[in-house]
Amino acid sequence: MDRQLIQSHPSIMMGKPVVAGTRITVEMILEKLSAGETIEQVLEAYPHLTKSAIYASLDFAAQSLRADVIYPVLEKAA
């Protein structure tokens, strides 16, 4: 994946990773896909995005989770 498609700068979206040249965060892309939207629906809603940018966002998220960090998952109360 083209890692240059994802950038982070303190003055843009509080430093969150974004698609280069946009204010579209990796977080927002992941939220939309996890909510069931298709890549095509995301591209239609955000014409400045490309399929490569969406794949770069997924790759960025996967690489970020490779760190040796424990992520606690809290169980919801029944």
- Encoded tokens for 15: 């430093």
pTM: 0.82
pLDDT in tens, 67-76: 777 777 777 7
pLDDT in tens, 20-54: 999 999 999 999 999 999 999 999 999 999 999 99
Q: What is the pLDDT of residue 11?
A: 94
Domain annotation for the chain: domains and CATH numbers: 3-64 (1.10.10.10)
* Exposure on the CB side of residue 5, measured as CA atoms within 13 A: 18
Residue 18 parent element (H or E): strand 18-19
